[in-house]
């Protein structure tokens, strides 16, 4: 049998084509009927041809929710009919780290992300295979909508992780550089964590307006350093979250951090080298953190906040489109046209 899937064939060449249906490869696997999937900013690196493998023809995507249709005989926590959300990255599901939700430290080095190569096919398709399903797929909690659960598979989790890495706490002054969906969710996270002021920085007026509507002080990158210096009387920001991953934006983030400040970079690094300002960082006593989050580790904090209505990540979904329009959706997401923020695809 064949299903429809978004497949990568080269730079800016994503096609909705037929692909073999996923099948169980282990007694611990599950097959999920995908009900909603979404395009992540990191998917655009693959779209640009800067992928993570030499493969072509593989299914892309790592953010999805759906319904269990088949489970292996060793799966005990899930059954057909369960509505589930999948962490963007998976682990072995058996070691101490994976069982604690810390997939990044999988002790068997089995960590992987969906949709980077043929090794683990992506989820922008009608169905997907989930390895070690008892850990890597979780029933959608009561009081969490499908769209909210979809944001929990990566975007909201990454934003929360980035804010935590910036040491945001009650009363602090925060800057968020880059207001894509994750940056906007980082703004919301900062306020939930108790930030007194959040400066939201992006060159796109519409994205600044969204952040401002949610209580942030919205600034263009060109004016941000001077205006923040004036607003803080030279103290600058105690916490900075960078959600782009480019050298100029990382440099800006470091420039906005005040003495003993923390800079958290969650934008996927697009430049192989970066000239780190060692003298300035040493003199100011800066903390600099960079990396990806282990999605399940964030859920115990995030799920209650979403259930209580304190975080509403679904509001950054700008478009819902059929999977068959996947090529158009990628082009829109890349060009940021038609107010594109978070694009959701429905098989």
The pLDDT assigned to 331 comes to 96
The pLDDT assigned to 277 comes to 93
Q: Which residues pair with residue 17 across a beta bridge?
A: 5
The pLDDT assigned to 271 comes to 80
Residue 103: strand, helix, or coil:
helix
Total residues found in the chain within this entry = 347
The pLDDT assigned to 295 comes to 96
Residue 203: strand, helix, or coil:
coil
The CA distance from 300 to 191, in Å, is 18
**Who contacts 117 (Cβ-Cβ below 8 Å, separation ≥6)?**
51, 52, 53, 55, 58
The pLDDT assigned to 248 comes to 95
Q: Domain ranges for the chain, please list them.
A: 2-140+312-346, 158-290
CATH superfamily, domain 158-290, is NAD(P)-binding Rossmann-like Domain (3.40.50.720)
The pLDDT assigned to 264 comes to 98
Listed residue (269, 266, 268, 211) closest to 242, CA to CA: 266
Where does residue 234 rank: exposed (0-12), middle (13-18), buried (19+ CB within 10 A)?
exposed
The pLDDT assigned to 50 comes to 78
Output the 3-class SS for 58-69. Answer: CECCCCEEEEEE
Where does residue 299 rank: exposed (0-12), middle (13-18), buried (19+ CB within 10 A)?
buried
8 to 13, 39, 88: CA distances (angstroms): 6, 13, 18
Instruction: Give me the CATH topology for the region 2-140+312-346.
Output: Quinone Oxidoreductase; Chain A, domain 1 (3.90.180)
The CA distance from 87 to 247, in Å, is 28
Question: What number of CA atoms fall less than 13 Å from residue 213's CA on the CB side?
Answer: 10
- Average pLDDT for consecutive 10-residue bins of the chain (347 residues)? 94 96 97 98 91 87 98 98 97 94 93 94 98 97 98 98 98 98 98 98 97 98 98 98 96 97 92 90 96 95 98 98 97 93 97
């Amino acid at each position: 049998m064949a299903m429809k899937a978004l497949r990568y064939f080269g730079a800016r060449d994503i096609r909705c084509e037929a692909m073999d249906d996923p099948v169980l490869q282990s007694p611990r696997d599950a097959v999920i009927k995908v009900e909603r999937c979404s395009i992540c900013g990191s998917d655009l690196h693959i779209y640009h041809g800067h992928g993570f493998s030499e493969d072509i023809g593989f299914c892309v995507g790592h953010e999805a929710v759906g319904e269990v249709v088949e489970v292996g005989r060793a799966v005990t926590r899930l059954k057909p009919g369960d509505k589930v959300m999948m962490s963007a990255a998976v682990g072995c599901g058996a070691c101490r780290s994976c069982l604690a939700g810390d997939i990044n430290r999988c002790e068997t080095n089995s960590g992987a992300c969906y949709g980077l190569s043929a090794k683990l096919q992506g989820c922008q398709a009608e169905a997907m295979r989930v390895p070690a399903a008892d850990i890597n797929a979780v029933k959608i909690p009561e009081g969490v909508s499908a769209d909210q659960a979809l944001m929990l598979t990566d975007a909201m989790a990454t934003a929360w992780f980035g804010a935590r890495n910036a040491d945001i706490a009650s009363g602090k002054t925060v800057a968020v550089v880059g207001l894509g969906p994750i940056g906007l969710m980082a703004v919301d996270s900062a306020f939930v964590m108790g930030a007194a002021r959040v400066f939201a920085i992006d060159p796109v007026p519409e994205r600044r307006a969204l952040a401002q509507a949610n209580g942030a002080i919205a600034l263009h990158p060109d004016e941000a350093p001077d205006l923040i210096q004036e607003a803080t009387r030279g103290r600058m920001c105690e916490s900075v979250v960078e959600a782009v991953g480019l050298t100029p934006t990382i440099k800006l983030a470091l420039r906005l951090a005040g003495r003993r400040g923390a800079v958290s970079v969650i934008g996927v690094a697009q430049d192989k080298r970066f000239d780190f300002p060692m003298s300035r960082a040493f003199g100011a006593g800066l903390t600099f953190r960079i990396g990806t989050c282990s999605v399940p580790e964030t859920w115990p904090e995030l799920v209650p906040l979403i259930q209580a209505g304190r975080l509403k990540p679904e509001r950054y979904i700008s478009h819902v489109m059929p999977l068959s329009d996947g090529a158009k959706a990628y082009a829109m997401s890349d060009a940021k046209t038609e107010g594109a923020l978070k694009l959701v695809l429905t098989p």
